[in-house]
Structure 1
């Protein structure tokens, strides 16, 4: 196989983060260099403990099934994976955790994993897993050190929590990131779909909209901005359709799922412990499935290794995957994606300008064609405003047409939810069409 992709795993370990971590540990295409633990789904210490619980569960599984060692290639790296603490709060403003963003009757417990310390105390960490390298340096320093030591553009940074750590790294050494970091894979935001934290905002962007703004739409010119061709965004638009149906999980992984007694393999016991409460929450929303947001990000990192040269995403073709640019300009009147807002109702919202989106108009009402027709006939009757918005005076001259290479690359297609489920079941739980151990 080709060389493994070195990755830095920036996470705020809650439920889907832990499944994503297990997916990364079981993916031979990746080499997990470091796990940077951040605030988000819960407080940073609980999040840190969740990573240790994950490693302990894998070790217990391999103690029982030593023949499964090859299933977790990232569990026995030649150089131990570094674990470190990242940011414990946003760049600015109040701290928001996912446990407080739901209604009281949907509380997922302070530990971020459905309260497994209370429901399954046997999963508490008894000693620090020996497969990890415990660093006292901040996650920002650890990531910078790794970038300095590795070949330029060889590392992928998987960001499945708030973007605070990356924003602080850019503040500290933007030249290093822009020249040496190969790719950023970011799960966050909601473009054309509702949010999952508020009506309009996805949680990671809601948690620190200031960091998102600095990274994606900086108000001030940056001498070394991160190249947009090396940033891939996975918003809720693409991640939400990828789901793990709980009946399927019960049928293929743990037939006694939701039982109070430990059952199945150690890995299945661990995941069932926190998926039980997750299922209770999702059922209140009428969905008997878990959304695989962060898991899709890991899958994307496998599919899109970093460029070693100045190649463009436009020139990149990965079977089953598609990415398109979303153009934005926050500083002037015309834009496509703007305003990572901090308002009471719109904090973390991505505002999409529909004025140049044909889908925002009635079928057949192509805006350019309507305008051409109006110009030709010089029509200015009462119904003109129905066809397109009236012109307004601007404080500055209209912007020139945006460059074709501007904007953020957003994933719009994957090989599909069924394909992801097949890979996930095989790698994390070691099952295919029928249960196997």
Structure 2
């Protein structure tokens, strides 16, 4: 199809990652040209294995999977993964049959850099985990920043609490150095934060209704049981926030979001490590500050949830 976006999904699957990736396979607006993997919901090797499972389910095994970093940008291995949210293996302890896949020969960062060079101005990266691979791609080749069409990031919390602690959202806290590096050096960056993803919810009834629908409905219904149960225990709701799929919706339907031009700084240490703070760019400051030389990024500040929810449910059920 003429005009399809060339999409790389940088991912740590992950239940809501799976929802976003499978919805993407049912979306004519995008051509997925690769999955790159990162730690977060699971360790990086498990993220790679889960990517192969999703590709087999989608009958898209020809799509390359490039494994990314196992450590944060500073070389430290992240201490924890979100097994209490996504299960020991990332898919809600459904223990899917392992798939033998051949990893791409390139590291995820180099894969992203090469794709940006091959298709300048055409590639969108949807970043659903910590931003280590994106930061490393910028370091591999500084031209990546301007060659990518855009980088759409699921991450941050500006006017609401984080989801790891009151200050920080999980993907940003997963590698705050990488996140700040991307905010300092990125071009054409969009941030889809908890401020909007907390407005988009799937109920347990939504998930149950997917069973038997399309190629992916039963799989999504099965893995979502663990996810919904986590939300019942943590939030007292019979629904879940739709983080990663909402970020995907921002790729194909940015018009369903309101965007604020901003400059963003990420705290890299201290009690509020991982906190995202934005300059709304509505005034001229008397003196230079830490935000002054940063590039403008677009932060989603509102979402038409009543349109995003049915859009995503439709794409997952096809």
Give the TM-score taking structure 2 as reference length: 0.88
Q: Distance in 2 between matches of 1:146 and 1:406?
A: 23
Q: Does the residue aligned with 2:149 lie in a helix, a strand or coil?
A: strand
Q: 1:238 is matched with which residue: 193, 196, 199?
A: 196
Secondary structure at 1:98 match in 2 = coil
Decide whether the 8 Å contact of 1:8 with 1:157 is kept in 2.
Answer: yes
Aligned counterpart in structure 2 of residue 135 of structure 1, from 104, 108, 111:
104
Structure 2 CA distance for partners of 1:212 and 1:127, relative to 1, 3 Å: closer
* 1:325 maps to which of 258, 261, 264: 261
Give per-residue Cα distances to partners, 1:380-424, cap 9 Å, x unaligned. Answer: xxxxxxxxxxxxxxxxx8339x98x9532101233x223122222
Partner of 2:315: 427
Secondary structure of the corresponding residue to residue 279 of structure 1: helix
| 1:85 equivalent in alignment to 2:67 | yes
SS at 1:413 equivalent: strand
Query: Could you list the runs of 5+ residues in structure 1 that have no partner in the other structure?
Result: 60-74, 101-105, 118-122, 218-224, 255-262, 305-317, 328-336, 358-396, 431-437
Which residue in 1 is equivalent to 2:81? Answer: 98
Residue pair 2:72, 2:178 contacting (<8 A) in 1 also? yes
1:187: which partner in 2?
Answer: 154
Q: Given the superposition, is the C-alpha separation of residues 339 and 9 from structure 1 closer, same or farther in structure 2, using an over 3 Å criterion?
A: closer
Task: Tell me: CA distance 1:157–1:266, structure 2 relative to 1, closer, same or farther (3 Å).
Answer: closer
Partner of 1:156: helix, strand, or coil? strand
Cα distance, 1:168 vs structure 2: 0.9
Q: Deviations over 1:254-287 (max 9, x none)?
A: 3xxxxxxxx7766233222211111211111202
CA distance in 1, matches of 2:93, 2:156: 27
Q: Choose which of 81, 92, 96 in structure 2 pairs with 1:114.
A: 92
Distance 2:4 2:218 in 1: 30
Q: Distance in 1 between matches of 2:176 and 2:55?
A: 31
Counterpart for residue 346 of structure 1: 272
Contact 2:7/2:30 (CA < 8 Å) preserved in 1?
A: yes
**Alignment counterpart, residue 238 of structure 2, candidates 257, 263, 288:** 288
Matched, 1:267 2:204: no
How many pairs does the alignment contain?
Answer: 312
Distance across 2 between alignment mates of 1:264 and 1:27: 16
Q: 1: distance between equivalents of 2:164 and 2:198?
A: 13
Alignment match, 2:210:
253
For the residues of structure 2 that align with 1:109 and 1:425, how far apart are their CA atoms?
Answer: 23
- Look up the match of 2:122: 154
SS at match of 1:90: coil
CA distance in 2, matches of 1:35, 1:239: 22
**Which residue, 104, 125, 128 being the options, matches 2:98?**
125
Pick aligned residue for 1:411 from 272, 277, 300: 300
- In structure 2, how many angstroms separate the alpha carbons of the residues matched to 1:339 and 1:265? 41
Question: For residues 410 and 326 of structure 1, what CA distance do their matches in structure 2 show?
Answer: 7
Gaps of 5+ in 2: none
Cα contact 1:324–1:411 (8 A) shared by 2: yes
Root mean square deviation of aligned Cα: 2.7
Q: Is the 8 A contact 1:158 1:298 kept in 2?
A: yes
What is the Cα deviation at residue 161 of structure 1? 0.7
SS at match of 1:420: helix
Cα distance, 1:352 vs. partner?
Answer: 5.6
d(CA) in 2 for partners of 1:346, 1:226: 23
Contact 1:160 1:186 in 2 (8 A): yes
CA deviation string 1:280-301 (max 9, x = no partner)? 1111120211211111111111
The 2-side partners of 1:353 and 1:268 are apart by 41
Shift of 1:191: 0.5
Contact kept? 1:177, 1:226, Cα under 8 Å:
no
CA contact (8 A) 2:249 2:312 kept: no
Partner of 1:190, secondary structure, is coil
Report the counterpart of residue 54 of structure 1 in structure 2. 54
Contact 2:85 2:226 (8 Å CA) reproduced: no
- Separation in 1, partners of 2:299, 2:258: 8
Higher strand share: 2
Classify the secondary structure of the residue corresponding to 1:322.
strand
